[in-house]
């Protein structure tokens, strides 16, 4: 389960990089050119969007990397990443895979016991 959590966290982080680049870029574009935002849309919380665009992929990739050796910490980081993506961008066609992969990877990492022992995380 730890290898699956590692893989899902890395994939979620890489897809999340694309979502984060769009989110951060859109906030910067609408800050620089107000008429673009007036013609299309502005984000309601641009500061939070910029934070989540950076921290979401970072936590997903770091959580996936930690999932093999520190499964509990990695799982918590991936669940936080999924929550950041959901709160910042909502659940839609662009975010369903980062949210789903980070969430499932986080659950698998938390559910994983130590490889040599039957009990989990201690």
Residue 27 and residue 88 in contact, taking contact as beta carbons nearer than 8 Å:
no
Q: Please calculate the CA angle 48-53-57 and round it to the nearest 5 degrees.
A: 135
Show me where the domains of the chain are located.
2-23+49-111
Residues with Cβ within 8 Å of residue 46, at least 6 apart in sequence: 27, 30, 31
Number of other CB atoms surrounding residue 65 within 10 Å: 16
Lookup: tokens for 93: 């066609």
pLDDT tens across 68-108, in order? 889 999 999 999 999 999 999 999 999 999 999 999 999 99
Least confident of 16-25, 49-58, 110-119: 110-119
């Amino acid at each position: 389960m730890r290898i699956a959590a590692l893989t899902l966290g890395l994939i979620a982080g890489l897809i999340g990089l694309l979502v984060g680049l769009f989110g951060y870029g859109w906030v910067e574009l609408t800050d620089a050119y107000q008429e673009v935002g007036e013609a299309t849309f502005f984000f309601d919380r641009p500061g939070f969007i910029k934070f989540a665009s950076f921290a979401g992929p970072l936590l997903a990739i770091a959580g996936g990397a930690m999932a093999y050796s520190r499964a509990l910490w990695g799982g918590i980081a991936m669940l936080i990443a999924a929550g950041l993506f959901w709160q910042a961008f909502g659940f839609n066609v662009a975010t369903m895979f980062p949210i789903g992969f980070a969430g499932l990877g986080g659950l698998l990492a938390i559910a994983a016991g130590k490889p040599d022992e039957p009990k989990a995380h201690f």
